[in-house]
Structure 1
Amino acid sequence: MTSPHPLTPHLPSPLHEIRDDRFGRRGLRLVLKRDDLIHPELIGNKWRKLVPNIAAAHGRALVTFGGAYSNHLRATAAAGRLLGLSTTGVVRGQELADRPLNPSLARCAADGMRLHFVDRSTYRRKTEPETLAAILRAAGAEGAYVVPEGGSNAEAVRGCRDLGAELRGHAEVVAVACGTGGTLAGLAAGLAAGQRALGIPVLRGGFLEDGIRDLQERAFGARSGTWSLDDRFHCGGYARTTPALEAFAQDFEQRHGLPVERLYVAKLLYGLVALAEEGAFARGTTIAAVVTGRPFPEPQAAASEPGQSPP
């Protein structure tokens, strides 16, 4: 009997209804789209974004980018191990090279990823052709297939369109936490007429709208679907949490028996509860929240920069 491919997913990911009086008393229905159950190591939207890029690489080594606690770096490293591909992770923060690896980067290294640390100024210019070429030379990754930070490019956006298609007919509003915006860009394009996508950015800066529009134009030729952003729930920036967010996440876990990933999923759910309390959704609305990750040891208070991209 032939062994299954190591990246074989469990699709479509299931929908789980959540009985929560903060929604119920306002005539709202909340369902969770459990993308965290797609694959045991490429969690949630990471599978949807990475697999199309791996196909486009045609067996070449992979190089990608992220911060010290990057979910994307971990997923890329895991994919490399599972497929026998060489991977290089370019990590934001030259100062990290002289410190012991945190649990997230240690996982990447254990999966065989070579880590190359660059200073933050260089990292911000990584998409400039000359800077990118210099980074690849220094990292020994010339000729590798470049996956952008967060995995968000036209291939990834087209891969995330299936997420929207899986949710057709199941909710009027589909909400997802946003880092680089690739998941929202694809999700919105896959939804049916009459459905709308809502993005909850997990970092501050207010620059995502242009980025999402650009991703859709590169993937589909034009803006696609109905979508909007509410950037009030980032809790100070990427990898930042607050006591209120932590208390909310713990309470949600106790209410529903579901571990809540703090940097993306907690902010999404926190935002949806706040919006429900504000009366942002009409009675009778079904809201689908996309669970894009599961808990991993995270930083207690990592620094974030205004306008920085997430890992």
Structure 2
Amino acid sequence: MRPRLPSPVQEVVDERFERYGVRLVLKRDDLIHPELIGNKWRKLAPGLAAAGGRTVVTFGGAYSNHLRATAAAGRLLGLRTVGVVRGHELRDRPLNDSLARCAADGMRLHFVERSVYRRKTEPGTLAAVLRDAGAGEDAYVVPEGGSNALAVRGCRALGEELTGVADVAAVACGTGGTLAGMAAGLAPGARALGVPVLKGGFLHREVEALQTAAFGGPAGDWSLDDRFHFGGYARTTPELDAFAADFEQRHGVPVERLYVAKVLYALVALAEEGAFRRGSTVAAVVTGRPFPEAPGR
């Protein structure tokens, strides 16, 4: 199945925004492709084209949506894929549903110690990991989360598709690549908002570095709000779960908990704080949908 681009925009009528004179729309990137969902397609497609048939190696945790998307892309495109998984201890455990799906799609899983994983970008460590994983010296390496200059340029189209649609475009952020590209594609006067799903406050410099690599310097008007990570990556709370279930019931849209729920929750809170001017349109990018068997990245 070919990707559905541009992805549709869906207006939702929600009194939590209407009472402040704000219009909410959803950018349904979750409908781009049944297996390569949302920003994963936008980020992966340029890199996989650049791989030129070589083995693709990438990185992620035990519930990584990025690993799943890469494995699915490898199957669809006939590419050999290797997933380097954080956590050597997982090697001797039964595969969870997310990793089992990666394996079923043909991805070779290589588990590494967490201390090694933290050093994966160091040339010596990376070379050793590639050798131990049997990836081959000419393997094409895609970074964790898929965020590199090619991916950021691929995500610029997301901002371009929102031109004339939104005054503010918001997206949940893991590695920052989607925000970096989307901000560059927005029309002048529109701004991008990133809601990090990891705690630590480090993402600003990562987005800056990605934009520099992709565009040679800063691009677009963007900011981050670090208050809505709900404890960090892959963390949720009963409050967030209840919010997501309520949004699903109100609007009939499935809400993925680890990313999408957090950006929607943030937008409701910001509307209540008066962060959006009356008469403005806010777009929430739906970057994924719930997997029935496991959460992921």
Q: Does the TM-score normalized on the shorter chain lie above 0.5?
A: yes
| Match of residue 24, structure 1, among 9, 18, 21 | 18
Aligned equivalent of 1:98? 92
Report the secondary structure of 1:175's partner residue: strand
- Does 1:126 find its partner at 2:120? yes
Identify unmatched segments of 5+ residues in structure 2. none
In 2, distance between residues paired with 1:109 and 1:115?
Answer: 7
In 2, distance between residues paired with 1:132 and 1:285?
Answer: 46
- Does 1:167 find its partner at 2:162? yes
In 2, distance between residues paired with 1:271 and 1:298?
Answer: 23
- Does 1:9 find its partner at 2:9? no
Identity of aligned pairs, percent? 77
- Does 1:199 find its partner at 2:174? no
Residue 58 of structure 2 aligns with an amino acid whose one-letter code is T
Aligned equivalent of 1:44? 38
- Does 1:153 find its partner at 2:130? no
| Match of residue 76, structure 1, among 55, 63, 70 | 70
Aligned equivalent of 1:115? 109
Residue 191 of structure 1 aligns with an amino acid whose one-letter code is L
TM-score, normalization by structure 1? 0.94
Aligned equivalent of 2:184? 189
- Does 1:290 find its partner at 2:285? yes
In 2, distance between residues paired with 1:34 and 1:46?
Answer: 13
Residue 57 of structure 1 aligns with an amino acid whose one-letter code is A
In 2, distance between residues paired with 1:281 and 1:254?
Answer: 25
In 2, distance between residues paired with 1:250 and 1:169?
Answer: 30
| Match of residue 242, structure 2, among 241, 244, 247 | 247
In 2, distance between residues paired with 1:235 and 1:100?
Answer: 28
Report the secondary structure of 1:101's partner residue: coil
Report the secondary structure of 1:88's partner residue: strand
Q: How much does 1:51 deviate?
A: 0.3
TM-score, normalization by structure 2? 0.98
Aligned equivalent of 1:221? 216
Identify unmatched segments of 5+ residues in structure 1. 1-5, 300-309
Q: How much does 1:285 deviate?
A: 1.1
Q: Deviations over 1:77-136 (max 9, x none)?
A: 000111111000000011111111111001000000000000111101000000000100
- Does 1:257 find its partner at 2:264? no
Q: How much does 1:298 deviate?
A: 2.9
Report the secondary structure of 1:176's partner residue: strand
Q: How much does 1:9 deviate?
A: 1.1
Residue 47 of structure 1 aligns with an amino acid whose one-letter code is W
Report the secondary structure of 1:282's partner residue: coil
Q: Deviations over 1:234-290 (max 9, x none)?
A: 000100000100000010011111110011000010111111111111111100000
Aligned equivalent of 1:305? none
In 2, distance between residues paired with 1:84 and 1:59?
Answer: 8
Residue 294 of structure 2 aligns with an amino acid whose one-letter code is E
Residue 261 of structure 2 aligns with an amino acid whose one-letter code is A
Q: How much does 1:221 deviate?
A: 0.2
